[in-house]
Structure 1
């Protein structure tokens, strides 16, 4: 059943109170805080569609903050998890001591049974999934300390889920009845794959080492473009200590830092030889794969491939791109263009 409401249907002086009432009915009860400069009039609209026990909604609204305080939770207990995905504008979802700052495409999960705050400083559009706890936990095991954790929507499984949720919001009402249940399960399974993998006991190291090594590589492969990704962040996401992660990598002849940097450099090499990115600035490529400093990128790239990124791009024909995983020094022709002693492996 589709639900639609808009504050445009009521007079200005009643719009904010109407909004408070409607979003509490559509989602969970909140306290609503409008910016102090807004004295009258509030524009907001919601479209919601239910299917397979899940509700998917589109929210377009003026800036404001909603709060699930302990008092509100006692007065209106709900047992749902909610996923918020930013479409336009930015939002900050706060739960526990974590802040997930969402920019377009990013999403996070929060628990309606625990205090939380959602703040939008500017006009915004978001997509929201409301999932009953029993359904969520059956498909998406998530530790309490993993809510309000940012999931980037520009790469990896996060990007797949972001695109899926946008499509779902647009077409949920048109789904044939015989596929609704399967689409619901697929949505939850894709969400589970995108969420951070944390053990509720914090003892992720209880898994076998090969499984942990695979998890570490997969997590880094899905998040290397995040400039804030660090060995400590990887360990935290896996639910292990930094020392355990270091030992895990050491057994494989590498380190967490080198593992992250190798992913970034390999992706940069692929982009530099991709004809579709021929006009893209090298600095833009460096920042796009997670480097924060162009000089650091150039040094790291030269250490890894024997020549700088500009020469690497110039030495590869767009029609015959080289394997970016191959050391530049492996090529006799390229090796002659590199001064002795300049090419050295990373680390």
Structure 2
């Protein structure tokens, strides 16, 4: 698995902050970054990034600073991510709107790049951050409200198990191939699910029988995503429901079987468009692998959903993936 290292220590004072801002934006998501120490000799930060298949695991630390995910950043994004921050030194303050949470050493915070948020670190700090593509996260872990902060206390039943695995994987990722990296990412996803399931303040979708059936539906779609003839009737039958009853359940979230199927097909296709290892795959092949009857139909639906064509997204993402 490839590794990237960013460190401001060897740079001239006036160049450190600009370098750091570019480093965190290229590693995580587009953000606004500020520090009262910018331009001063005392500002320093470091970042080490390891790839776990399509996910990344990074160690980050340094001087006091703050980052903010803004609406304009979200509008420009070509892909959604979930991030899990493990505080390993001192304290961070996370906020979305009026909701604030303090993250002490040993605590974890789960949040989505589709939300506006702010992170303030008032002192020297260290974190380990897991970044997971939404198309990998959402079929496995269905949050009741992805737009909120989801804190996992370091004292909760399985937090230590998750934290220890994150630290162990971070320390032992060198010289592992992408298949092992993807498997390790799956392990962490399962542990996140267990922790959220056992944290009463942050229930998962799946707490009721109806929600379990929705999870079953999404898993069936994911398993058969390349089948262009996948019908509402087959999806409902796999969930043990009629089409009418399943649509009634989904209407609580203002969606339907057809809408969920289309959204999952588009997310599946977007995964191929943004990952560097699939750059040689044609857009037509991506369309068929995602269950669309034709490349033209896929391109039309994709642009309606993301306001950008598949080829434009691929070109833009290729530019973003170039090393800084």
Interval of TM-score (by shorter of Structure 1 and Structure 2):
0.5 to 0.7
1:198 corresponds, among 195, 203, 228, to 203
Residues 52, 180 of structure 1: 8 Å contact kept: yes
Superposed, 1:38-57 pairs within 5 Å as: 39-41=39-41, 42-57=43-58
Cα offset, 1:128, TM superposition: 0.2
The answer to whether residue 22 in structure 2 is matched with residue 17 in structure 1 is no
- 1:16 deviation in Å? 1.0
Root-mean-square deviation (CA, aligned residues, Å) is 2.3
Find the aligned partners of 2:39 and 2:16 in 1 and give their Cα distance: 11
- Give me the whole-angstrom Cα distance separating, in 2, the residues matched to 1:145 and 1:5: 30
Q: Contact 2:52 / 2:178 at 8 angstroms: preserved in 1?
A: no
Q: Which residue of 2 aligns with 1:83?
A: 84
Aligned to 1:31: 32
In structure 2, what is the equivalent of residue 121 of structure 1?
122
Q: Deviations over 1:281-331 (max 9, x none)?
A: xxxxxxxxxxxxxxxxxxxxxxxxxxxxxxxxxxxxxxxxxxxxxxxxxxx
Equivalent residues of 2:111, 2:146 under 8 A apart: no
SS state of the match for residue 87, structure 2? strand
| 1:72-101, Cα deviation, whole Å (9 max, x unpaired) | 222345411111110001111222443221
Q: CA deviation at 1:66?
A: 0.1
TM (norm. structure 2) is 0.58
Alignment partner, residue 173 of structure 1: 174
User: How many angstroms apart in 2 are the aligned matches of 1:146 and 1:68?
Assistant: 12
Q: In the TM superposition, what is the alpha-carbon distance from 1:166 to its structure 2 partner? A: 1.1
SS of the aligned residue for 1:10 comes to coil
- Per the TM alignment, residue 147 of structure 1 is displaced from its structure 2 partner at its CA by 3.4
179 and 72 in structure 1: CA distance in 2 versus 1, 3 angstrom threshold: closer
Alignment-derived partner of residue 307 in structure 2: none
Residue 134 (structure 1) shift: 0.6
- Determine if contact 1:99/1:149 at 8 Å carries over to the other structure: no
Which whole-Å CA distance do the structure 2 matches of 1:204 and 1:180 have between them?
30
Closer, same or farther in 2 for the Cα pair 1:96/1:149, shift >3 Å? farther
Distance 1:115 1:46, change over 3 A: same
Residue by residue over 1:177-219, the C-alpha shift from the partner in whole angstroms, topping out at 9 and shown as x without a partner, is: 664333221111011111245255xx956679xxxxxxxxxxx
User: Residue in 1 aligned with 2:231?
Assistant: none
The 8 Å contact of residues 52 and 184 in structure 2, kept in 1 or not, is answered as no
Q: Which consecutive aligned stretches of 4+ in structure 1 deviate over 4 angstroms post-superposition?
A: 203-208
